[in-house]
Structure 1
Amino acid sequence: MIKDGKGGSNTQTGLHFESKADIRTIFESIPGYNLRPTPDNAGYEVWFNEELLAHCFKKQEFYRFLARYNVNWREHLSKRLEPDNGLFVIVRDTLFIIEIKFQHVSGSVDEKLQTCDFKRKQYTKLVHALGWRVEYVYVLSDWYKHPKYRDTLDYILCMNCHYQFNAIPLKWLGLPDVNSQP
């Protein structure tokens, strides 16, 4: 955990999330980015300055996206997982599974944070044959900066998963940062 709560929430640009955030809405609010719906209802294409950079999707759109690559989830998993938000960054061959957890009181979400390793491995099984990497990241509210979450946050990192507070920097995703463009 980062001392004094400094980290992702202090980034100047990036994907800034709020409770129940939709990655599409966030991209649409960033100058230079343009989203285009896919004809097969498999989410949206993410364009920046007329260059296709990524695909974003959520829930069931994810499986329609995988169907483009002839991936049948039933051949790899016993149960479907449906991501809050997913982002496939083309140039990195990386699938980011982005789970949003905003809390203001203790509850069942606390224990859900401890499932990141299992879920990352499940998503990895799905896309392994495609040669894609999987990054599993939580976007957390400031609630999780409380010291009682130190062990949980340390566990997330030990399992090769990630967390950010309130935002994900675009550069971290491998996408252009509008403030650093010429």
Structure 2
Amino acid sequence: MPRIPNTVGGGSRTNLNGLKFEARADLRDAIIAHPDYVLNNDKVYKDGEVIARYFEKHGLYKKLLEPKGIDYRNRISAKLLPDGALLVGNTIYIIEKKYQAGSGSVAEKLQTCDFKKKQYIKLFDGLDFEVEYYYVLNDWFDQPVFQDVFDYIESVGCKYFIVDLPLSELGL
């Protein structure tokens, strides 16, 4: 069944305190909407100073890794394409959004966070980055049936957020 686009959310409805899950919202939207930050050329400014760098999908490779001489093929077997990545100090926050509206395989994919975080750690080896791996989930996941999965996510050092990811969780 084809996906029906979200026609009622996004833009002005983005929570000023963080990334609010919406079908089209991303971390970039949340930063732009926040009155304390300016996003320009993938650099996040606060009070005129660069405090973070933003990347998504292939931009992580083109703008961060390739200029440092890193070819992902020499480190991991497949290119990982994050929905968003934010480098704050020496911590890179990898953000993956997951949407589901009924039973299906997305819930099972949540259990891959440990593997993906370890792949990112290998990818950034030698850059002295700490890696944080976060899910932002739509409210369909806010059910007791997922508690075991949520416990697992936390037990392997990853985090999940239902609907809203506060920017303070990203070191901003």
TM-score, normalised to structure 2, is 0.86
Q: Which residue of 2 aligns with 1:62?
A: 60
Q: Alignment partner of 1:88: what SS?
A: strand
Q: Is the 8 A contact 1:27 1:35 kept in 2?
A: yes
Report the count of equivalent residues: 157
RMSD, aligned CA: 1.5
Q: Is the 8 A contact 1:19 1:100 kept in 2?
A: no
Q: Which residue of 1 aligns with 2:163?
A: 166
Superposition map of 1:33-112 within 5 A: 33-37=37-41, 44-64=42-62, 65-90=64-89, 93-112=90-109
Give 4+ residue runs of structure 1 displaced > 6 Å after superposition: none
Q: CA deviation at 1:101?
A: 1.0
1:115 pairs, out of 112, 117, 142, with 112
Q: Alignment partner of 1:120: what SS?
A: helix
Q: CA deviation at 1:166?
A: 1.5
Q: Which residue of 2 aligns with 1:156?
A: 153
Q: Which residue of 1 aligns with 2:22?
A: 18
Give, in whole Å, the separation in 2 of the partners of 1:112 and 1:63: 23
Give, in whole Å, the separation in 2 of the partners of 1:17 and 1:30: 15
Q: CA deviation at 1:12?
A: 7.8
Q: What letter matches 1:20 in structure 2? A: R
Gaps of 5+ in 2: 1-14
- 1:34-88 deviations in Å (ceiling 9; x for gaps): 1111xxxxxx111112110111111100101211222211110111111111111
- 1:82-126 deviations in Å (ceiling 9; x for gaps): 111111112xx0111100012221212111101000000000001
Q: Is the 8 A contact 2:18 2:31 kept in 1?
A: no
Higher relative contact order (CA 8 A, sep 6+): 1
Q: CA deviation at 1:172?
A: 1.8
TM-score, normalised to structure 1, is 0.81
Give, in whole Å, the separation in 2 of the partners of 1:68 and 1:103: 36
Q: Is the 8 A contact 1:58 1:82 kept in 2?
A: yes
Q: Is the 8 A contact 2:56 2:83 kept in 1?
A: yes
Gaps of 5+ in 1: 1-10, 38-43, 176-182
**How high is the sequence identity, in percent, across the aligned residues?**
44
